[in-house]
Amino acid sequence: MMDQAITRKQFQALVAELDGTYRVMYELLAKMPIPMLIVEHQGDNPIEAIRTLARAHELVDMEELDEPLAVQVRAMIADWLTGYELAVAVETYGPALHRVIGLKAALARFNVSAYYVASRLG
């Protein structure tokens, strides 16, 4: 079906973007006042990457950050995790349009948060 082929192509492009955004997040978390070290390449050990990101999300409150920055750091992590879970759902259940749209939305939100975090952390 043509729609599914288009959706599969969109999905592949979004997965490539998801991989790139992980690297951005890795670098931003390392710039925190107390550097947060997560798995450098999530594809090497996805389970550990997810575990360390979940822990980083919990530890944001221990950082010396003002509330707007802390909110955006948590949002950045949560949106990346949401995008990852949607990518796994596409791989498991197929590239339904709503999953691709959801992944695109999670990446867009991630990019807004990451831009804010980067502008504040320098």
**Whether pTM exceeds 0.75:** yes
pLDDT tens figures, 15-70:
899 999 999 999 999 999 999 998 888 777 788 889 999 999 999 999 999 999 99
pLDDT at residue 3, rounded to an integer = 56
The angle at the Cα of 116, spanning 86 to 56, to the nearest 5 degrees, equals 55
- pLDDT above 90 (res 109): yes
- pLDDT above 70 (res 1): no
User: Which CATH class name applies to 2-121?
Assistant: mainly alpha
- Where are the domains positioned within the chain? 2-121
Mean pLDDT computed over 66-77: 97
